[in-house]
Each structure stands twice: as structure tokens, then as C-alpha cells.
Structure 1
Amino acid sequence: MPEKIVYTDTFVDADGNPIGNIPEILVTMTFIEQEGKTKVITLSQFASNETLQQVKDMGVVEGFASQFDRLGLLLEDMKLLINN
């Protein structure tokens, strides 16, 4: 498993084309083994405080948190399938 994934996150239209007026986000995800579990540290970098505020105003923080909530539910479902 890789220890780190770095990618640029951007909003796109229905055809996959970047939406020009929404800033890109440089995301670094670091995976650390800790007490037999994997800890994920996510760092999102923005070009300026203004671009950070723009995406915060769009609800990106809540949206990102909900993705981890959904991932947690999926992993619990997978764990149940494996254990049965």
C-alpha cells in the first residue's frame, strides 16, 4: 500500500471538463500504521485564503466530511460480509 497519495482535486461539469471559476485543491493523503489500524491524514492546500474561503462557502468541508462518513459505512458493510 502506498504511504502517500497526492492529487489535484477540481470541480468538473457533466462532461468531465474543469469548471474555470472554482479553484483547484492540492490534496495530500498520508497513511500511517497505528496500533494495527490505518490512520489517514488529509491535507488540503489552496492558492490563497480567498480560494479557501470560496470553497468553504460552497460547503466543501461538509461534503468532504460526508464522504468519510459514507466510506465508514461501506467499510462496516464490507467487514460484515467478510466475517459471514
Structure 2
Amino acid sequence: MKANGGFIPGIRPGKPTVEYLNKVMTRITFVGALFLAIISTMPTLLSSFTSIDARFGGTSLLIAVDVALDTMKQLENQMVMRNYQGFLK
């Protein structure tokens, strides 16, 4: 940030910026980890509390969602490249 002249409004450069970014990253990481924990245990909890038989684990659900999201991103990138194809020639 310093090399590019960037700053965070309301936060002084130097150690306060580092502390602020660490605090923000910790919050984001905690929320993400909590979400992943809930998603990965959901099939097990559903099968134990209801009569629904979950034939897949939480990890496989996470992998399937990740693959689907990655495929969607790749498709979006391909569509954007088609729009810019005329500029690249």
C-alpha cells in the first residue's frame, strides 16, 4: 500500500493500518470458517434429526459447490473475453 500511495480513510498509516487490516482479516476468516463448519456438518445433522437419509458427506458437498462456482467463474470470464475479442484483434 505504501509503495502505491494507498491508504484507508480514517486509519493512520503504519502500525494502526496493520492492526486494522489484521482485525478485519480475522473477522472475515472467522465468519468464513464458521460458515464452512455449518455447511460441512449439515448433511450429518439432517440425517440424524430427521428421517432423511443423506448419502453424501459435508466435504463432498463443499467440493461440489466449489466446482460449480469455479465453473460459473470460468464461463463468465469466457463471456467477457468474447465481448473484448474485437479490441484484441
Q: For the pair shown, which has the larger CA radius of gyration, 1 or 2?
A: 2
Q: TM-score, normalised by structure 2?
A: 0.35
Q: TM-score, normalised by structure 1?
A: 0.36
Which structure has the highest helix share of the two? 2
Which structure has the highest strand share of the two? 1
**RCO higher in 1 or 2 (8 Å CA, sep ≥ 6)?**
1
